[in-house]
Amino acid sequence: MKPYQNTPISECNEPLVAIPDYILKINPHPYMTLGAPYGDRSPFFVRQGILERLQKSQAYLQTICPNYQIAIFDAYRPIPVQQFMVDYSFGQLAEIKGLEVKNLTEDQKNSLMAEVMKFWAIPSHDPKMPPPHSTGAAIDVTFLLVSDFGGDNIQEVNMGSPIDEISDRSLPNYFASFRNSQAVVFNRNRELLNEVMTYSGLKRHPHEWWHFSYGDQLWSWISNERYAVYGGVI
């Protein structure tokens, strides 16, 4: 159990809604490409209140950095997808470390899973502790640079590490103490992302520069709120 999962939930029953096409998305969707079992569900759905906050953040970004656009990497995530991605990340981490999953000792399995769970929520079916993305209240975002007014020249902004990387580079302030010019840019971009997302009340995950939420248990725990308003969406 993670500390925020003790937070009580007072579900507000706000609907899941589609993220409109005018909000940019990372396509093809990375988890669907891997074969994650979404079924007939779409990852590009959020609660109505989250969409409104996302729109507010995007409008604010345009006033301070017009060539940047918020881009959605991932949003709603059914629990089977959460489980799929935890298993996939476990296998990838083992491969990076030169280990074969089928030959792992119990200590190695526990050590690898501990690393994975620093960045991935528990794929719990318990309605009292849903994974943040399964509530429709969490979004993974980055920046896209739009270099011309027609929007044809678009490239992803380098934030210093890819989304979902299981390493200290994913920590929001990882580059804050570096003094080389590239690291300064990475940190500046991360701080800008945090500024525009928190402008609308969203809160950043303590371990992930890309993850923001409002109204779920993690948000409630970070914000010292008494309860969450978004529970799991089946």
In the chain, the amino acid numbered 183 is: A
Task: Concatenate the DSSP letters of all residues of 177-212 into one string.
Answer: T--SHHHHHHHHHHHHHHHHHHTTT-EE-TT-TTEE
- Is the peptide bond prior to 131 cis by the omega test (within 30 degrees of 0)? no
From CA 174, how far away is CA 100, in angstroms rounded?
30
In the chain, the amino acid numbered 109 is: K
Q: Do 139 and 46 touch, CB atoms closer than 8 A?
A: yes
From CA 56, how far away is CA 53, in angstroms rounded?
5
The residue assigned the tokens 């899941």 is: 16
CB count within 10 Å of CB 140 equals 23
Catalytic residue set = 208
From CA 173, how far away is CA 208, in angstroms rounded?
9
In the chain, the amino acid numbered 194 is: N
